[in-house]
Structure 1
Amino acid sequence: MLKTLPQFAGTNGPRPTTEQRAELLAFVATHYEAGRSLRQIAELTGRTQTAVRRALDQAGVPRRARGAYRVRGEA
């Protein structure tokens, strides 16, 4: 299990600021495109997998099929 990153700790509320939302969308898009899974991103951001899916949709990032490749360098 991964730990929530400090920049996302305590930001999972019903009304995030515009800056918090922009940072989340950028982080999710970058890490998903780099090969991280929804689960990994959810753990790193302190969000649910559903929230990560929504963030990907809002960022305009197409989702991979299930069972897609792993991040390089990870077992």
Structure 2
Amino acid sequence: MASHRGRHAYPCRVSYPGRPVLDVLQEFVGTASTRQTPEQRARLLAFCAEQYVAGRSIHELAELTGRTQSAVRRALDQAGVRRRRPGARPMTVAPDQSF
């Protein structure tokens, strides 16, 4: 029986670089409270809806607005935006390409 000398069953681990964390946009700094003004709430709803439809993730929107992902989901629901399925976007292949 061979000894692994403390090695794991899978000796080669791949580390992936971390995704950069986005800074809160200046217009949303200090506005994440239960006492938002109607104008602040309207701006949040409009921003989240616009950016989500343009392709931003809920995670990215949470970072950009200083909210939790749950708060962003509620904002999208309140704005009437239909949410995408969870997970990464499916890869698209051009019709003339094959595997």
Query: By the TM > 0.5 criterion, same fold?
Result: yes
Q: Taking structure 2 as the reference length, what is the TM-score of the superposition? A: 0.68
Q: Between Structure 1 and Structure 2, how many residues are aligned?
A: 70
2:39 maps to which of 4, 13, 19: 19
Extract structure 1 runs of 4+ deviating beyond 4 A: none
Comparing both structures, which one devotes a greater share of its residues to helix?
A: 1
User: 5+ residue gaps in structure 2?
Assistant: 1-20, 91-99
State which structure, 1 or 2, has the greater radius of gyration over its C-alpha atoms.
2
RMSD over equivalenced CA pairs, Å = 1.2
Q: Which has the higher contact order (CA 8 A, sep 6+)?
A: 1
> What is the identity percentage for the equivalent residue pairs of Structure 1 and Structure 2?
63
- TM-score, with structure 1 as normaliser: 0.89
- Aligned residue for 1:9? 29
Q: 1:28 aligns with which of 39, 48, 57?
A: 48
Which amino acid is the alignment partner of residue 33 of structure 1?
V
